[in-house]
Amino acid sequence: MFHLLLLAAALLAAYLFLTRTLFRSSRCEGNAAMDGKTVIITGGNTGIGKATALHLASRGARVVLACRNREKAERAMAEIRQETGSTNVLFMQLDLASLKSVRSFSERFLKTEPRLDLLINNAGLVADGRTEDGFGIEFGVNHLGHFLLTYLLVERLKEGGGGRVVTVSSMAYRWGHVDPEALAVNRHLGTGRYSWQFFQAYCNSKLCNVLFTHELAKRLKGSNVTCYSVHPGVVRTELSRNVGLWQKVFIEPIARLLFLEPEAGAQTTLHCSLQEGIEPLSGRYFSCCAAEEVQPRGRDDAVARKLWDVSERLCGL
């Protein structure tokens, strides 16, 4: 009996430790006015993106759900409208695995929407495979599609009174590695049949998000647009929908016990979207609604600049 009590105490202590460290959550206190402002959220039909869309719609923003799946987007729009009473939520087709689709979306948006105040690069996945253009799927979707989208829309952001770009990264960047020269040749961040191999590629793509934001801030200096990368926390989303069945069987019980719900996971994104006075922190990485110092690999000026140059070439810019 004593050993069982000891084990129970140890498990409880471990649970409390994890929920206060790796799985801790925070609350956005930002209250910037959103009436009359326009927001794009990639992957806004599910998970963190949907929770973000719901909150911004409730604050009066015009919210564009930039998603691949029309059916899921229409369901999300109906739920957001019902919950918030907003009729200012719309869907625009965007497949980040296709540079043609990114260009088509941007062209349509610029023709039909007179302003853009907030671009939230939220969509992401963990998977193996290739995009329509032959890039590794995680590189193509998690980084390159968002890079091109931001590049094409940044001038519209500058036209407003202080636009922001918020890119959802992850603490997984800490285990990432990016070699821009190899990337230019291989056009992927890692491949393989096993989950650990495409999880490594995911970590690499999240490092790309941090480096992209670091370099973007330099290029935006002197403008009224700022940018931030965020770690949303360890969240229960559809991010790992492409992993194998046995991995899901292993992950699901842990996720139910420890992972954050999407609403909690949206808080740092919302902080970087709504908190006034954080403009001097442009280019920084945020976690739990606060700026956090990144590891040297996430603020390497030379690698960030080379990644930008390679991304431009691969996008045909």
Whether 24 maps to a domain, the answer reads no
Report residue 178 as tokens.
């990016």
Number of helices (H) and strands (E), helices first, in the chain? 12, 8
Catalytic residue among 151, 173, 194, 202: 202
Whether 26 maps to a domain, the answer reads no
Interval 281-315: pLDDT, tens: 999 999 999 999 999 999 999 999 999 999 999 99
How far CA 204 is from CA of 60, 74, 136, 178, 210, in Å, comes to 36, 32, 12, 6, 10
- The strand pairing partners of 164, in sequence order, are 118, 226
Whether 152 maps to a domain, the answer reads yes
In terms of pLDDT, which residue wins out, 85 or 247? 85
Interval 16-41: pLDDT, tens: 333 344 445 677 787 888 999 999 99
Q: How confident is the model at residue 8 (pLDDT cuts 50, 70, 90)?
A: very low
3-state secondary structure of 63: strand
Whether 14 maps to a domain, the answer reads no
What's the domain count of the chain?
1
Whether 119 maps to a domain, the answer reads yes
Residue 173 appears among annotated catalytic residues: no
Whether 199 maps to a domain, the answer reads yes
Other beta carbons within 10 Å of 252: 13
In terms of pLDDT, which residue wins out, 255 or 71? 71
- Cα(115)–Cα(102) distance, rounded to whole angstroms? 18
Q: What is the pLDDT of residue 199?
A: 84
Backbone torsions φ then ψ of 140, nearest 5 degrees:
-65, -45
Whether 273 maps to a domain, the answer reads yes
Q: Which domain holds residue 229?
A: 31-314
Q: What is the pLDDT of residue 237?
A: 52
In terms of pLDDT, which residue wins out, 18 or 244? 244
Q: How confident is the model at residue 127 (pLDDT cuts 50, 70, 90)?
A: confident
Q: How confident is the model at residue 56 (pLDDT cuts 50, 70, 90)?
A: very high
Give the CATH number, domain containing residue 280: 3.40.50.720
277 in Cβ contact with 245 (< 8 Å): no
Q: If we measure between CA atoms, which residue out of 65, 109, 62 comes closest to residue 86?
A: 62
Whether 179 maps to a domain, the answer reads yes
Mean pLDDT taken over the chain: 86
Q: How confident is the model at residue 278 (pLDDT cuts 50, 70, 90)?
A: very high
